Amino acid sequence: MDAPRTPQQGLDFLASRSPSTVVLGLDRMHEALEELGHPELRLRSVQVGGTNGKGSTCAFLDSVLRAAGHTVGMYTSPHLVRVNERIQVNGLPIDDETLGTRIVEVLLKSPAAMEATYFELGTLVALEHFARQNVEVVVLEVGLGGRLDATTAARPRLTALARVGMDHMEFLGDTLQAIAKEKAAILRKGVPAVVAEQRPEALSVIETCAGWVGAPLLVEGRDFSLDGLGRYRGPEVSLDGLALGLHGGHQHHNAAVAVTCAHVLERQGVAVGAEAIRTGLQRTRWPGRLEQVSGHPPLLLDGAHNEDAVEALVAALDAVPYAGRPVHLVFGVVSDKQVEAMLRMLLPRCASATLTPLPTPRSRDPASYVELARSLCPAVDVAPSPEEALARARVRAGPDAWVLVAGSLYLVGAVKALLEATPAPG
C-alpha cells in the first residue's frame, strides 16, 4: 500500500490495519521515532501500566493536571466508538482532519512507520501530535503488557502500575508472577514509580524488578492511601474530603495512584496543588466504567472483561446506588477470556441475562457458554446482536431495574454507538 497523501487517505490507512493484531517488540518503534526526530524526547510523559484500572488512573491524573491549568495530552486504548478517543488534548479527542494529517506526516517522514501495527502507528501519531501541540504533560496508557509495548519507547519521567491480574495470558504468561514481571518492565533506573495495592506475589515481583533497575517505588498501603471516606495520606501531604467522579469502591485505589503521581510531578516542577487535586478528582469522567445512562430503565455500562474487573463490578452492584435493585445483564466476551469464572461471579447477582456475540472476529460464540449461564441464572437467552440483546433486556427490566452491559469493551462500545444513534426510551 502506498503512503497516503491526504487526511482521508491517512484515516483509511490506519483503518486498514487490524486493531486486534499484536506484534510485540520495540524495534519498529525505536526506528520510527528516530526517523521522526524523537518527538518523545520533547515530552514530559507519565506511563501507566497494570491490568485493571490503568485507564481510570490515566483519566484521574489527566483531570487533576488540567484542573491545575496545564495543557495535557492523554493516549489510551482501546477506543469505545471512534479511534479519535485514543488521542486527547485537554480532554478533547483529536478531530478527523488533524488525525488524518498527522498520520500522513508520520508516514511521509518514517518508512518504518509504514510497517507498524495499528497500535504502534497510533502511538507514533500520538507522540508526534503531542509534541506539535506543545503539551506540558503526557499521560500514556500501556496497551498490552509493558516490556514490549509501544508506549515503552516513550522515555517517561514517571511510571505507575495499577493492579496486576490475570489477563492476556497467551502473550504475558499464565501465572501472576510472570504477568507482573512483564508489567514491571516499564520501570526504569532513577525514574520514580507509583504502584497500586497488589497481591503479595505480584508486589514481590514488582519490588524485585525495581531493585534490579534502581527505580524508587511508592507503594499503596505502605507509602500512600485513599480510603472510602475521601481521606488521602501520602509521603508528604494529607488531604481530606476528596470526592471521586467515578463510581465503585475500586476507584479509590486508582485515584490514590493518580494523586501520588501528581505529587511526584510536583516535585519534578509541575505545579499542581491541593485544590486542583480536589477539583480534578471530582470532575473525572471515564466512559464505559460503571457509566450510568439515564432512562427507563437506566443503563449501567462497564467494560469488565476479566476476573478481577468482574469482582470489582459485583462489589459495586452490592453498594449504593445499585444495591437491592434488580439487574438485567447484556453480556458478551472475546474468546481468550475466562468466561466461566466471570459468569460464576456475575450471574448470581442478575435477574436475567441476554448473551450476544461481539462485533469483532475475536468474539466468543454465546452458544459455547449458554448452558453454563442457564445453570447460574433463572432467565437466560441468546440474541443475535448487541442491538437485539439491549432491546430484550430493556423489556425485561421495566422502569425500576438496571440494565447492565458488561463482559467486553467491544460490547460497551457497540452499545454506546447504538445509544448515540437512537434516543433512549422514556
How far apart CA 374 and CA 7 sit, in angstroms, is 49
pLDDT digits (tens, 9 = 90+) for 202-237: 999 999 999 999 999 999 999 999 999 999 999 989
3-state helix, strand, coil in the chain (%, to 5): 45, 15, 40
Residue given cell 450476544 in the structure block: 356
Q: Is the pLDDT of residue 127 over 90?
A: yes
Q: What mean pLDDT is predicted for residues 329-354?
A: 96
Domain boundaries, the chain: 7-283, 291-421
The three state secondary structure string of 66-118 is: HHCCCCEEEECCCCCCCHHHHEEECCEECCHHHHHHHHHHHHHHCHHHHHCCH
Identify the three-state secondary structure at position 412.
Answer: helix
Residue 236: predicted pLDDT: 86
Q: Is the pLDDT of residue 424 over 70?
A: no
pTM (two decimals): 0.96
pLDDT digits (tens, 9 = 90+) for 239-283: 999 999 999 999 999 999 999 999 999 999 999 999 999 999 999
Q: What is the DSSP letter of 363?
A: B
For the domain bounded by 7-283, which CATH number is listed? 3.40.1190.10
How far apart CA 6 and CA 34 sit, in angstroms, is 24
Q: Is the pLDDT of residue 193 over 80?
A: yes
pLDDT digits (tens, 9 = 90+) for 278-312: 999 999 999 999 999 999 899 999 999 999 999 99
Q: What mean pLDDT is predicted for residues 150-157?
A: 96
Give the closest residue to 419 by CA, choosing from 305, 316, 291, 303. 291
Residue 425: predicted pLDDT: 54
What's the N-to-C CA distance of the chain in angstroms? 48
CB atoms under 10 Å from CB of 118, counted, come to 20
The three state secondary structure string of 273-311 is: CHHHHHHHHHHCCCCCCCEEECCCCCEEECCCCCHHHHH
Q: What mean pLDDT is predicted for residues 399-412?
A: 94
How far apart CA 60 and CA 244 sit, in angstroms, is 9
Which grid coordinates belong to 73? 495530552
Residue 401: predicted pLDDT: 94
How far apart CA 201 and CA 216 sit, in angstroms, is 19
Q: What percent of the chain has pLDDT over 70?
A: 99
Query: 7-283 and 291-421: same fold?
Result: no
pLDDT band of residue 198 (cuts 50, 70, 90) is: very high
- Beta-sheet strand order (sheet of 232-233): 225-226, 232-233, 238-239
CA-based Rg of the chain, rounded to a whole angstrom? Answer: 21
Residue given cell 494523586 in the structure block: 259
Residue 323: predicted pLDDT: 87
Q: What percent of the chain has pLDDT over 90?
A: 88
Q: Is the pLDDT of residue 422 over 90?
A: no
How far apart CA 258 and CA 272 sit, in angstroms, is 12
Q: Is the pLDDT of residue 426 over 80?
A: no
pLDDT digits (tens, 9 = 90+) for 34-91: 999 999 999 999 999 999 999 999 999 999 999 999 999 999 999 999 999 999 999 9
Tell which CATH architecture fits domain 291-421.
Alpha-Beta Complex (3.90)
Q: What CA dihedral angle connects 298, 281, 61 and 250, to 10 degrees?
A: -60
Residue 170: predicted pLDDT: 80
Q: What CA dihedral angle connects 226, 49, 128 and 28, to 10 degrees?
A: 170
Mean pLDDT of the chain: 95
Q: What mean pLDDT is predicted for residues 369-392?
A: 97
Burial class (CB in 10 A: 0-12, 13-18, 19+), 16: exposed
Residue 423: predicted pLDDT: 62
Which grid coordinates belong to 411? 460490547
